[in-house]
């Protein structure tokens, strides 16, 4: 207890008693004395002491009246009051206690007894002040923690040892579809509907697994969170057990984030890396990968494959004379026609400005590949509508566009390989 920081106001109209009380208390706290009870309330309100020692019998205002003033004022109502009295009858004690008195000092003053009573109550006040300070700091820390958890971009959910939700921040509320009121007390498996993105099978919540293994764990790969309103989010992150100072498991916390946009962007970037932007067809990179895979398969499946190369004659002349916009339109139109002819089982790729390649898998004979090549040439000769006018494609010098194709075969083991050209 720090005596210098504590303060006691003593009110008594008798100078001798006032002096005795002051001498008894001055070693315990800073003392302020008041001899006129009419001034008592204003002094106490100005000083806001830790303790008031108040005589009952005074000519201007009795101690009871001063006490009533103190208890009626919000600023002074909590200040403890010790009454000084020469009366020992139960009636005065009853009135004093009913007004909020905490103790009595009897006249004549016993300095030792007076000191003990004042010291005890000052100690109680000191402890109350310290406790109030600690509670204030804890409340401030709690508010700061709550603000932090509510402000971060990740979802945060904590559970108790039984697996029931004890905290859920706004991000987690948005992703799960549960408000704080709805989520608290519910099993986390009910609030967080985690499923495998590929199979849609239910996944064990990492927070529950962290409870079981007593260590941090990562969320399952390829996890999705299906909200209460059937919104689907791709989520990632970790969960950890909550262990108190005594080493006892009290719950777990899971921190997760919505990575839907990141995964979508990664898919788009992968698509752009492997596909032509104008036609959406596979590019050289993806075609090469599929050719390598097809050659490997053909030696085990005993099926032949073929590679059809197609280009557009005089495309540079068309592009320069009609403009790049028309040239792009021609490329896109031819790509759609070829894709329709070769079907989904083949890989049609754009490998250059006006060049396409088609990988034909598991062909039965050269005739089927020839048929597809001729069908591609036929599709290329169909009219193309440009600026509202249909243009007939032909192989003449004045034609808009003409195609030529070359077929390469890779046969199964023992069949040999050969080259076959399909002329315009």
Whole-number pLDDT of residue 180? 92
Q: What is the pLDDT of residue 403?
A: 39
pTM: 0.50
Average pLDDT (393-406) is 34
Give the pLDDT confidence score for residue 317 in this predicted structure: 74
Q: What percent of the chain has a predicted confidence (pLDDT) above 90?
A: 35
Residue 3 confidence class, pLDDT cut points 50, 70, 90: low
Confidence at residue 81, expressed as pLDDT on a 0 to 100 scale: 93
Least confident of 142-146, 169-173, 298-302, 334-338: 298-302
Kindly report, residue by residue over 105-131, the tens digit of the pLDDT: 888 888 888 999 999 999 888 898 889
CA distance 423 to 414: 28
Residue 298 has pLDDT above 80, yes or no: no
What is the per-residue pLDDT across 163-217, written as a single tens digit (0 to 9) for each?
A: 999 999 999 999 999 999 999 999 999 999 999 988 999 999 999 999 999 899 9
- Position 372 scores a pLDDT of 81
How much is the average pLDDT of 412-424?
Answer: 39
pLDDT tens across 12-38, in order? 999 988 999 999 999 999 999 999 999
Backbone angles phi, psi at 285, to 5 degrees: -60, -50
Which of 94 and 9 is assigned the larger pLDDT? Answer: 9
| Contact between residue 257 and residue 237 where contact means Cβ atoms under 8 Å apart | yes
pLDDT tier, 410 (very low <50, low <70, confident <90, very high otherwise): very low
């Amino acid at each position: 207890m720090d005596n210098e920081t504590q303060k006691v106001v003593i009110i008594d109209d008798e100078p001798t008693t006032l002096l005795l009380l002051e001498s008894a208390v001055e070693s315990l706290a800073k003392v302020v004395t008041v001899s006129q009870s009419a001034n008592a309330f204003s002094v106490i309100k100005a000083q806001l002491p830790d303790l008031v020692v108040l005589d009952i019998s005074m000519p201007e205002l009795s101690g009871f009246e001063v006490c009533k003033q103190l208890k009626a004022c919000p600023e002074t109502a909590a200040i403890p009051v010790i009454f000084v009295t020469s009366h020992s009858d139960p009636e005065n004690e009853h009135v004093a206690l009913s007004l909020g008195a905490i103790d009595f000092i009897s006249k004549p003053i016993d300095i030792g007894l007076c000191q003990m009573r004042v010291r005890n109550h000052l100690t109680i006040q000191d402890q109350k002040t310290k406790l109030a300070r600690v509670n204030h700091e804890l409340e401030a820390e709690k508010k700061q923690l709550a603000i932090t958890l509510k402000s971060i971009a990740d979802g945060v959910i904590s559970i108790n040892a039984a697996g029931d939700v004890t905290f859920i921040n706004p991000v987690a509320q948005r992703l799960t579809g549960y408000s704080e009121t709805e989520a608290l007390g519910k099993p986390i498996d009910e609030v967080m509907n985690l499923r495998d993105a590929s199979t849609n099978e239910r996944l064990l919540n990492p927070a529950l697994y962290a409870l079981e293994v007593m260590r941090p764990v990562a969320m399952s790969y390829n996890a999705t969170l299906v909200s209460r309103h059937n919104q689907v989010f791709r989520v990632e992150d970790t969960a950890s057990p909550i262990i108190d100072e005594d080493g006892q498991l009290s719950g777990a916390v899971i921190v997760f984030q919505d990575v839907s946009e990141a995964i979508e962007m990664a898919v788009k970037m992968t698509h752009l890396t492997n596909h032509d932007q104008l036609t959406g067809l596979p590019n050289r990179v993806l075609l090469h990968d599929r050719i390598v895979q097809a050659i490997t398969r053909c030696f085990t499946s005993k099926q032949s494959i073929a590679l059809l190369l197609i280009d557009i004659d005089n495309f540079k002349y068309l592009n320069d004379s009609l403009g790049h916009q028309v040239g792009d339109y021609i490329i896109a139109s031819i790509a759609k026609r070829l894709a329709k002819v070769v079907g989904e089982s083949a890989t049609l790729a754009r490998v250059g400005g006006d060049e396409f390649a088609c990988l034909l898998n598991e062909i039965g004979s050269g005739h089927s590949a020839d048929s597809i090549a001729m069908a591609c040439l036929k599709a290329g000769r169909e009219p193309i509508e440009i600026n509202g006018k249909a243009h007939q494609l032909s192989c003449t010098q004045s034609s808009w566009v003409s195609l030529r194709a070359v077929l390469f075969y890779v046969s199964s083991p023992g069949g040999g390989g050969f080259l076959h050209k399909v002329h315009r």
